[in-house]
Amino acid sequence: MSFEADALAELKKPRTKESTLAKKLALFLGSLAAFLLLGLLATSSSSKVGIVDLLGIVLILFVHESGHYLSMRWLGYRNVQMFFIPFFGAAVSGYSTPMPIFHQAFVILAGPIPGIFIGFLCLAFYLTSGNDMWQKMANWFILLNGLNLIPWYPLDGGRFVDYVVSNRHALSKTFFQLFVIGLGFYAYTKLNLSILIYLGIHTLFRIKRYYFVNRTAYELRVQRAKEGLSKSEDVPDEIATATIAKLTKALPLVGTGGVVAEYVRDIWIQANSERPSPFEVVIMGLTYLTAIALFCLYQFLYLPLIK
């Protein structure tokens, strides 16, 4: 079977099969156990991070991903699963039919924003009780969730900006990503956060793919506008064939047929997702900027005052 035929065959496979509750629990508990075990091995040789810190990080990751999980379930995503990724964090997977960008952006913000507000609640408990545990929890909640709002793909902030800004501006979004990567490398020299280097390298390797998906989704959206947007996740054969041909020509090393099929589905869903109204853009923008402002106030004004 040819590469293109393999991708087409993947696209024809139904995605409606839901994993059983037992399989979802096994994935969650197994990945959590691996995260804790490898985390304990890593912290055993560190004097800065202990078991209590590791458990605190797990709690924060769980709260963050629960926001994504619950919002996805509420909005009708299918086969929603939460799992931990050792040495990296946690994630929630699931899929849906084309839906309004406003809903997709809500799913993204439902992870970090509640975490930031919980962090400020912990800060209030600390100021009331003087218990240093609450200060530490506030630091972790606000830091991890605030950093996640940085407009750097694949962080939540990067995905949010990518969704909200029209794919018409695919090239501008690419230049913006390069600018943020440059800022990230500069911040690394000041803060010595190695995660910034990993994110920068990851984004640089994939930036051409992001541009292609955005540009192709916009071109397809213009084409689809004449016929009306589709609410189905099934990609018509002629569109699938044409998109696969574009993808394999522009990105010859993109991956297996299954990977290509996922890109084609992503392009199809983006092209058929309803753009937000000006009012919705304002609401989303104010929500995002408020959370960023709270993170910056805590990180750059409050913390230096108490040190």
Confidence of residue 217 (pLDDT cuts 50, 70, 90): very high
pTM, rounded to two decimals: 0.90
Q: Which of 35-44, 229-238, 245-254, 287-296 has the highest mean pLDDT?
A: 287-296
Mean pLDDT of 79-89: 90
Residue 47 has pLDDT above 60, yes or no: no
Q: Which of 117-131, 218-232, 256-270 has the highest mean pLDDT?
A: 117-131
Q: For residue 113, what pLDDT is reported?
A: 95
Compare 172 and 203 and report the one with higher pLDDT: 172
Neighbouring-strand partners of residue 83? 91
Coil vs helix vs strand at 17: coil
How many Å apart are CA 9 and CA 173, to the nearest integer?
Answer: 32
Count of C-beta atoms within a 10 Å radius of residue 162: 22
Mean pLDDT of 184-197: 72
Mean pLDDT estimate for the chain: 86
The distance of Cα 201 from the centroid of its chain, to the nearest Å, equals 17
Q: For residue 103, what pLDDT is reported?
A: 95
Compare 205 and 218 and report the one with higher pLDDT: 218
Mean pLDDT of 211-227: 87
Quote the percentage of the chain above a pLDDT of 90. Answer: 45
Residue-wise pLDDT for 64-78, tens only, equals: 999 999 999 999 999
Residue 13 has pLDDT above 90, yes or no: no
Q: For residue 1, what pLDDT is reported?
A: 47
Mean pLDDT of 215-240: 86
Contact 264, 210 (CB under 8 A): no
Residue 137: exposed, middle, or buried by beta-carbon count in 10 A (0-12, 13-18, 19+)? buried
Query: Which token pair is 223?
Result: 């084409």
Q: For residue 244, what pLDDT is reported?
A: 86
Residue 192 has pLDDT above 50, yes or no: yes
Compare 43 and 57 and report the one with higher pLDDT: 57
Q: For residue 231, what pLDDT is reported?
A: 85
